[in-house]
Amino acid sequence: MTARILILEPDGNASSALRELLEDEGYEVFEVGEPDAPLEELLVQFEPDLVLADAGHPRHTAPALLAAASAASDAATPVVLMSINPSWRGTDVRVLAKPIDIDALFATIALLLRGRRPAAP
């Protein structure tokens, strides 16, 4: 079964580029720019194995996203924040600095998905 990744990124160009990269690697990707639904509903609707989110998302704050992902299932859904804000770095939250280093992105996803659904061949 293919690993499912939910992208929460308000910048449509960045979101589309990430989706294409991830799909080329065999992931099933759901792209949500400015969702109207609460985070909990998005997690139930898409059942992602991992969430890749902009830490500065205007509607869904990083703390709210992390709390929703933790509450979503028995095994909390891993969240990777993408941020230009250095204050997130050095916390126990996975953070990728913007602009995103593609090798770091794939390494982080592989690490967090280990033991979950495998990527498509």
Instruction: Name the DSSP class of 100.
Output: P
pTM: 0.82
Residues sharing a CB contact under 8 Å with residue 80, sequence separation 6 or more, in sequence order: 50, 51, 52, 53, 94, 95, 96, 105, 108, 109, 112
Q: Is 10 left (phi over 0), alpha (psi -120 to 50) or beta?
A: alpha
- Cα–Cα distance for residue pair 81/38, rounded to 1 Å: 18
- Cα–Cα distance for residue pair 7/46, rounded to 1 Å: 11
Q: Which CATH superfamily is domain 4-113 in?
A: Response regulator (3.40.50.2300)
Task: Determine if the peptide bond prior to 99 is cis (ω within 30°).
Answer: yes
Going from N- to C-terminal start, the domains of the chain cover 4-113
Tens digits of per-residue pLDDT, 34-86?
Answer: 766 777 788 888 889 998 988 876 666 667 777 776 665 556 788 888 888 76
Q: Measure CA 32 to chain center.
A: 11
- Cα–Cα distance for residue pair 30/48, rounded to 1 Å: 8
Burial class (CB in 10 A: 0-12, 13-18, 19+), 36: exposed
Query: For the chain, how big is the Rg over CA atoms in Å?
Result: 13
Tens digits of per-residue pLDDT, 15-32?
Answer: 999 999 999 999 999 998
Highest mean pLDDT among 84-88, 106-110, 114-118: 106-110
